[in-house]
């Protein structure tokens, strides 16, 4: 009914948005315009989601008004889609997201594939009162006040450090045994196994052998994550994964991957009864069964996000050997990675900030307007977003806007990796919370795993730089994107012992 009411305005192409920051309309089809894709997800562009965002902003740089950074698509009988790469509007929408009446929801449409893989009763997928309950239940266990209390933190730090040291020693042994000066590795592969081991064994207190993590669970999760994107684009009837037939080789593999995912979920729930790892801080008597979906989200989501973040940081350092050397000078004498020690590693922290700015792991944040909602930026610009609008907060392109992140404000072009820009920003007196790259989101739905993730990534990147020098095999560093972004070559480097 609501959609029928909109039809006359849609037919007359009347802009359903209002305010002085109104977006401009784009067409669904634009043959001959040279756009990289259709502006909607479909089976042929599901492996190129950044192209969809690029399509929204095709030739937008030539525009002078608010349409330069705000665009919308309005297809008959559907709700409008707004794409914004305007940092002020992004911040305002994130700020107005939550469970209060009239606030924005996280749009569930782009994560329907994730929900089919993990279950719907999760912190990531839910909205409204259910989200609030999930957040209160799950998030405090890895929040800053819980994880970073000195005695609790020390326990994690030691086990995390032992894990990464073992893996680095294995790489070192390979290199020494080969007798060669250089050893060629894809960092993404190395990092992924370490990240899953940290999550499963150190964080959840399970005891799964490293070889099994690397050879069984990492490949199974990789295939599940790859299937999530395809499933979001294809599975419009919302068929649960468990109903999928097992006829083709692919489907048989999918069934086996799902069984491995279930097994891994069992293994990390097992230490709960002995209060090992994170479970010590988890104060709730909800049955294990109620936690399974969230555990699956944490396993797949945290693995994906931490791997993306660390792999990008290493890929950038591999192309900026002078910065790599500066990080080495900082970390060479750090033996324990306490938040204090890591906090003092200034260049390492700038590298991590710059990594999330230029190559954010989550490249867009989806939102949905629950009502006709007005948002206002800090500099007083306003936009009315009609009820039902699907919103793509295009963090990937917002973080590359020259007028915001470029030479005038930061001293360096927005499109290049320049950790020094953070120094410049500080000199100019910018307060970090006012200059956001949204790498961990913002507002009520900010990432609850931020501190754990930063610790893991800082530790892995710091420990690798401390042991090896590395340089990129390919000078270009393009991105691939699925659930998160990664370098196309997985950060292919030649390693050399220091
Ligand atoms: C270090 C790399 C990580 C990055 C870059 C990252 C990024 C993000 C971002 C941008 C969001 C906000 C999404 C939105 O606003 O729509 C988010 C939410 C979330 N993250 Fe992370 N994350 C990381 C690590 C982790 C870890 C280690 C965990 C869990 C142990 C985790 C669990 C979650 C959950 C459950 C949410 C949803 C929260 C909610 O909706 O209330 N993340 N993450």
The answer on 62 and 168 residing in a single domain is: no
DSSP 8-state symbol, 332: T
* Each residue's pLDDT expressed in tens, for the chain with a length of 498 residues: 777 888 989 999 999 999 999 999 999 999 999 999 999 988 888 889 999 999 999 999 998 899 999 999 999 999 999 999 999 999 999 999 999 999 999 999 888 888 888 888 889 999 999 999 988 887 777 676 666 666 667 777 788 888 888 889 988 898 888 888 899 999 999 999 999 999 999 889 999 999 999 999 999 999 999 888 877 777 776 777 777 777 888 888 999 999 999 999 999 999 999 999 888 878 788 899 989 999 999 999 999 999 999 999 999 999 999 999 999 999 998 888 777 787 789 999 999 999 999 999 999 999 999 999 999 999 999 999 999 999 999 999 999 999 999 999 999 999 999 999 999 998 988 877 778 999 999 999 999 989 889 888 998 999 999 999 999 999 999 999 988 999 999 999 999 999
- Tell me if 126 is assigned to some domain: no
The answer on 294 and 149 residing in a single domain is: yes
SS3 234: helix
CA 49, CA 15: separation in Å to the nearest integer? 26
The CA 148 to ligand 1 mean position distance, Å, reads 18
The CA 446 to ligand 1 mean position distance, Å, reads 7
DSSP 8-state symbol, 445: G
Neighbours of 227 (CB within 10 A): 23
Pull the structure tokens for residue 25.
Answer: 């309309």
The answer on 203 and 79 residing in a single domain is: no
The CA 440 to ligand 1 mean position distance, Å, reads 6
Pull the structure tokens for residue 74.
Answer: 């309005």
| Atom 39 in ligand 1: residue holding the nearest Cα | 445
CA 459, CA 452: separation in Å to the nearest integer? 11
The answer on 320 and 253 residing in a single domain is: yes
Strand 390-393 relative to strand 81-84: parallel, antiparallel, unpaired?
Answer: parallel
The answer on 148 and 273 residing in a single domain is: yes
User: Which residues, 6 or more positions from 492, have their beta carbon under 8 angstroms from its beta carbon?
Assistant: 184, 185, 186, 187, 472, 473, 474
The CA 361 to ligand 1 mean position distance, Å, reads 10
Classify burial at 234, counting beta carbons within 10 Å of its beta carbon; exposed 0-12, middle 13-18, buried 19 or more. middle
The CA 443 to ligand 1 mean position distance, Å, reads 12
CA 283, CA 477: separation in Å to the nearest integer? 44
Of the candidates 351, 88, 302, which has an alpha carbon nearest to the alpha carbon of residue 196?
A: 302
CB 471 within 8 A of CB 321: yes
CA 353, CA 346: separation in Å to the nearest integer? 11
Q: Is 110 in the pocket of ligand 1 (CB under 6 A)?
A: no
Of the candidates 401, 301, 308, which has an alpha carbon nearest to the alpha carbon of residue 355?
A: 308
Q: Please state whether the predicted TM-score (pTM) of the whole model is above 0.75.
A: yes
Q: Give the ligand 1 atom nearest the CA of 457.
A: 1
- Tell me if 400 is assigned to some domain: no
Pull the structure tokens for residue 78.
Answer: 């559907």
Q: Count each helix (H run) and each strand (E run) in the chain, helices first.
A: 21, 13
CA 291, CA 293: separation in Å to the nearest integer? 6
User: Which residues, 6 or more positions from 154, have their beta carbon under 8 angstroms from its beta carbon?
Assistant: 338
Q: Give the ligand 1 atom nearest the CA of 362.
A: 10
The answer on 140 and 100 residing in a single domain is: no
Classify burial at 136, counting beta carbons within 10 Å of its beta carbon; exposed 0-12, middle 13-18, buried 19 or more. exposed
| Atom 17 in ligand 1: residue holding the nearest Cα | 447
Classify burial at 159, counting beta carbons within 10 Å of its beta carbon; exposed 0-12, middle 13-18, buried 19 or more. middle
In the block, residue with structure tokens 């052998």? 209
Q: Give the ligand 1 atom nearest the CA of 445.
A: 41
Q: Is 305 in the pocket of ligand 1 (CB under 6 A)?
A: yes
- Tell me if 425 is assigned to some domain: no
CA 264, CA 260: separation in Å to the nearest integer? 6
* pLDDT in the model for residue 314: 98
| Atom 41 in ligand 1: residue holding the nearest Cα | 445
Pull the structure tokens for residue 269.
Answer: 């729930």
CA 15, CA 13: separation in Å to the nearest integer? 6
Ligand 1 pocket test: pick from 128, 368, 447, 454 the residue with the most ligand atoms within 8 Å of its Cβ.
447
Q: Give the ligand 1 atom nearest the CA of 97.
A: 15
Q: Is 106 in the pocket of ligand 1 (CB under 6 A)?
A: yes
Q: Give the ligand 1 atom nearest the CA of 454.
A: 1
SS3 377: coil
The answer on 160 and 99 residing in a single domain is: no
Q: Is 483 in the pocket of ligand 1 (CB under 6 A)?
A: no
The answer on 198 and 100 residing in a single domain is: no
| Atom 31 in ligand 1: residue holding the nearest Cα | 449
The CA 407 to ligand 1 mean position distance, Å, reads 30
Pull the structure tokens for residue 121.
Answer: 């009763």
- Tell me if 409 is assigned to some domain: no
Q: For the domain that residue 272 is a member of, what is the CATH number?
A: 1.10.630.10
Cα 276-278-283 angle, rounded to 5 deg? 95
The answer on 469 and 332 residing in a single domain is: yes
The CA 299 to ligand 1 mean position distance, Å, reads 12
Of the candidates 264, 251, 190, 269, which has an alpha carbon nearest to the alpha carbon of residue 221?
A: 264
Domain around 55: 2-118+369-374
* Count of the separate structural domains present in the chain: 2
The answer on 285 and 143 residing in a single domain is: yes
The CA 121 to ligand 1 mean position distance, Å, reads 16
Q: Is 195 in the pocket of ligand 1 (CB under 6 A)?
A: no
The CA 18 to ligand 1 mean position distance, Å, reads 32
Strand 485-487 relative to strand 382-385: parallel, antiparallel, unpaired?
Answer: unpaired
SS3 335: coil
- Tell me if 11 is assigned to some domain: yes
């Amino acid at each position: 009914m609501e959609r029928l009411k909109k039809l006359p305005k849609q037919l007359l192409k009347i802009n359903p948005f209002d305010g002085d920051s109104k977006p401009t309309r784009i067409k669904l089809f634009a043959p001959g315009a040279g756009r990289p894709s259709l502006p909607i997800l479909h089976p042929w562009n599901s492996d190129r989601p950044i192209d969809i965002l690029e399509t929204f902003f095709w030739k937008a740089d030539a525009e002078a008004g608010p349409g330069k950074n705000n665009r919308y698509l309005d297809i008959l009988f559907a709700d409008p889609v707004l794409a914004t790469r305007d940092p002020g509007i992004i911040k305002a929408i994130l700020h107005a997201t939550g469970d209060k009446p009239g606030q924005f929801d996280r749009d569930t449409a782009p994560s329907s594939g994730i929900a089919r893989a993990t279950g719907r009763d999760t912190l990531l997928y839910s909205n409204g009162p259910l989200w609030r309950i999930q957040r209160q239940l799950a998030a405090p266990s890895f929040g800053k006040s819980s994880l970073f209390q000195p005695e609790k933190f020390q326990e994690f730090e030691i086990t995390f450090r032992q894990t990464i040291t073992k893996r680095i020693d294995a790489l070192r042994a390979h290199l020494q045994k080969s007798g060669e000066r250089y050893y060629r590795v894809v960092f993404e592969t190395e990092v992924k196994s370490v990240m899953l081991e940290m999550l499963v064994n150190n964080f959840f207190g399970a005891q799964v052998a490293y070889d099994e993590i690397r050879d069984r669970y990492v490949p199974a999760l990789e295939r599940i994550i790859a299937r999530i994107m395809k499933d979001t684009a294809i599975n419009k009837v919302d068929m649960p994964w468990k109903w999928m037939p097992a006829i083709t080789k692919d489907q048989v593999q999918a069934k086996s991957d799902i069984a491995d995912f279930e097994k891994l979920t069992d293994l990390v729930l097992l230490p709960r009864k002995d209060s090992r790892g994170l479970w010590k801080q988890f104060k709730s008597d909800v049955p294990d069964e109620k936690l399974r979906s969230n555990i699956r989200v944490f396993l797949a989501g945290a693995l994906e996000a931490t791997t993306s973040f660390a792999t990008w940081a290493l890929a950038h350092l591999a192309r900026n050997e002078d910065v790599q050397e500066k990080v080495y000078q900082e970390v060479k004498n750090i033996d324990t990675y306490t938040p204090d020690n890591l906090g003092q590693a200034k260049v390492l922290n700038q590298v991590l900030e710059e990594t999330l700015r230029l190559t954010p792991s989550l490249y867009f944040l989806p939102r949905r307007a629950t009502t006709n909602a007005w948002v206002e930026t800090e500099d007083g610009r306003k936009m009315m977003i009609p009820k039902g609008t699907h919103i793509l907060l295009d963090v990937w392109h917002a973080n590359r806007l020259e007028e915001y992140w470029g030479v005038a404000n930061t001293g360096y072009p927005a499109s290049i990796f320049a950790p020094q820009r953070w120094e410049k920003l500080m000199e100019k007196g910018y307060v970090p919370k006012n200059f956001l790259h949204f790498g961990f989101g913002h507002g009520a739905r900010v990432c609850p795993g931020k501190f754990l993730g930063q610790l893991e990534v800082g530790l892995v990147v710091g420990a690798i730089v401390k042991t090896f020098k590395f340089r990129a095999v390919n000078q270009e560093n393009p991105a691939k994107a699925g659930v998160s972004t990664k370098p196309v070559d997985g950060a292919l480097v030649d390693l050399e012992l220091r």
